[in-house]
Amino acid sequence: MNIGNQIAGQAQTRRLIADGVIKLKPYCEVCGAVENTQEYWFDTPVKIHPHHYNGYHDVYHIWSVCRSCNRHLVNCHDGQFQTPEQARIFIFGGDWQLKAKTLLLSRIYGEIEKNVRQIEALCQRNAHLKNQVHLLQTENCQQDGKKNPESEGK
């Protein structure tokens, strides 16, 4: 593969996408990852890239793929795969449906972990605020010469 052809093909594809001649799908055609969603293995949202499956000279025939799938297909621009399904089997193996479901469950688990961390942070903040309220009530009672109402029952 000639690096000059690759750069020229990528530049022409970028222009065609910018001009609206070619539209990328909002999801990866290989694994199904949706653009701008947070994936558990990346720190950044999913970005969809064009993949020239039939060579860089063929700028109109591209697949919309996520960064992860694009990395797996880095040397597959010679028409080796004519369908996203063939690329999916290459990346995920023969039982790609099981692996794709596992990947989806991993994504869901990642979202759950993120939500749990947010809830834990809110609980810690709530406990901190309760402690501050208790200290303020104790201070106010001491200034007034009264006992803290919460400690009277103890």
As a whole number of angstroms, the distance between CA 33 and CA 27 comes to 5
Express as a percent the part of the chain with pLDDT over 90.
Answer: 18
As a whole number of angstroms, the distance between CA 14 and CA 12 comes to 5
Query: Residue 150 pLDDT more than 60?
Result: no
Express as a percent the part of the chain with pLDDT over 70.
Answer: 81
pTM listed for this prediction: 0.53
- Are the C-beta atoms of 76 and 53 separated by less than 8 Å? yes
Alpha-carbon separation of residue 96 from 79, 82, 88, 89, 103 (angstroms): 21, 17, 7, 6, 10
pLDDT tens sequence across 31-89 = 888 887 765 555 678 889 898 888 888 888 889 998 888 888 887 877 788 788 888 87
Nearest to 82 by CA among 59, 51, 54, 50: 54
